[in-house]
Amino acid sequence: MSQLDTPVLELRNVTKTYSVKQGLFGKPKPLTAVNDVSIKLARGEVLGLVGESGCGKSTLAKILLGLEAPSSGQVLVDGQALGGQDRLALARRIQPIFQDPYSSLNPRKNIYDIIALPLRVHSIGNEVSRQKSVREILDIVGLPARVMNSYPSQMSGGQRQRVAIARALIMKPEIVICDEPTSALDVSVQSQILNLLNELRQEFGLTYLFISHNLAVIEHLATRVAVMYLGRIVEEASVESLFDAARHPYSDALLKSVLTPEPGLGIPDTHLGMTYPNPIAPPDGCHFHPRCPSAMDLCKSQRPTPLFDAAGRIECHLFSP
């Protein structure tokens, strides 16, 4: 069955460049937020995406959602280029859950209007059937029907995130892009939301792209992991093999940071120093070489090429053929 082999969502050599103005009269400089990224999402899997703040995770998510057009490269849904797809059709298949539930719900609308918006935009059903759908989805995400008349300001972060999940799922999408859906929440609520997301995935057969700073979350939820550094995917592997034996020195550093006594809530301390490179002027050669404990001379001048093997993908001179 070729249908099963085609990834539901695929990025092919996608690059996104912003032009950033420095100062009032500064010349705009290109900032490559996503640099020649290719990833595939198979139906039903959870691809975890990890990386430091500013490495381009959210930009990647926006490109997948069709909110940003890639500067070059292709986004394919079911093997078809995104440009050819109608925006509404795409919206029915891919929905986001954002990081900050305090910013993702319109404070001027009540919960019913927020959750029913997708149905209204897509002219699904009438007001009566919409109300029924909203009740059902509220029940599924664990909120009582009476919150329909409440406003976001009356709810806690966890409840708001449930509302955001309900809005994302009401049209029964196939793919959900979760951009750090728990990092703005209290630790106690985080696990509730994660469990909910996990159950929903099984229940509805969803495919997730799950972005997180938190490797523990990724280990818990994901089936495959992509590690991103300065706009590039530097390693991709199954969760088991990555957590057993990370190959890329950056993945290794990320993993070690999780094992330190203080569990990183936000950005894990990578023990790599704070010298996160300027994305406007990335280092030559391997972007990671100024911080890499295993850097060689070659790394300073020559960029490693990705190697694809049975374990996944790795982009590092240590693993050059």
| Paired tokens of 145 | 């029907």
Give the CA angle between residues 296, 297, 303 to the nearest 5°.
85
Comparison of 40 and 122: residue with beta carbon closer to another protein: 122
Query: Which of ligand SF4, another protein, ligand ATP, none sits in contact with 295, Cβ below 5 to 8 A by type?
Result: ligand SF4
Residues 30-59 that bind ligand ATP (CB under 6 A): 31, 33, 51, 53-59
Query: Are 129 and 123 spatial neighbours (Cβ–Cβ below 8 Å)?
Result: no
CA 217 from chain centre, in angstroms, equals: 13
Return the one option of ligand ATP, another protein, ligand SF4, none that residue 203 interacts with (CB less than 5 to 8 A, by type): another protein
Long-range own/partner contacts, residues 74-82 (CB < 8 A, 24 or more apart): 74/10, 74/11, 74/12, 74/13, 74/14, 75/9, 75/10, 75/11, 75/12, 75/14, 76/7, 76/9, 76/10, 76/11, 76/12, 77/8, 77/9, 77/10, 78/6, 78/8, 79/6, 79/7, 79/10
Residue among 173 and 279 whose Cβ is closer to ligand SF4: 279
Cα separation, 137 vs 119, whole angstroms: 12
Partner from ligand ATP, another protein, Mg ion, none contacting 312, C-beta within 5 to 8 A by type? none
122 is an interface residue for another protein by CB under 8 A: yes
In the bound state with ligand ATP, the residue whose beta carbon lies nearer, of 31 and 115, is 31
Q: How far apart are CA 253 and CA 271, in angstroms?
A: 7
Which stretch, 29-37, 161-169, 180-188, 287-295, contacts ligand SF4 (CB under 6 A)? 287-295
Candidates 91, 239, 295, 311: give the one binding another protein (CB under 8 A): 91
Site track 58-87 with Mg ion (rule: CB under 5 A), x = hit: x-----------------------------
The one of another protein, Mg ion, ligand ATP, none whose footprint includes residue 20, by CB under 5 to 8 A per kind, is ligand ATP
264 CB neighbour count, 10 Å cutoff: 16
Site string (19-58) toward Mg ion, x via CB under 5 A: ---------------------------------------x
Distance from chain centroid for Cα 250: 19
Segment 193 to 232, residues that bind ligand SF4, using CB under 6 A: none
What's the Cα-to-Cα distance from 256 to each of 113, 130, 249, 288, rounded to whole Å? 45, 48, 10, 17
Which residues from 244-283 bind ligand SF4, rule CB under 6 A? 249
Query: Helix, strand or coil for residue 197?
Result: helix
Reduced to 3 states, what is the DSSP secondary structure of residue 226?
Answer: strand
**Which does residue 208 touch among Mg ion, another protein, ligand SF4, none (CB within 5 to 8 A, set by kind)?**
none
Q: Which among ligand ATP, Mg ion, another protein, none contacts residue 31 (Cβ within 5 to 8 A by kind)?
A: ligand ATP
The count of chain residues that interact with ligand ATP, using the rule CB under 6 A, is 13
Candidates 7, 44, 66, 306: give the one binding another protein (CB under 8 A): 66
Least CB distance from residue 163 to Mg ion, whole Å?
20
Residue 111: φ, ψ to 5°? -60, -40
Read off the tokens for 128. Answer: 């009566």
Number of helical H runs and strand E runs in the chain: 11, 12
**Footprint on this chain of Mg ion (rule: CB under 5 A):** 58
**Footprint on this chain of ligand SF4 (rule: CB under 6 A):** 249, 286, 288-289, 292, 294-296, 299, 304, 316-318
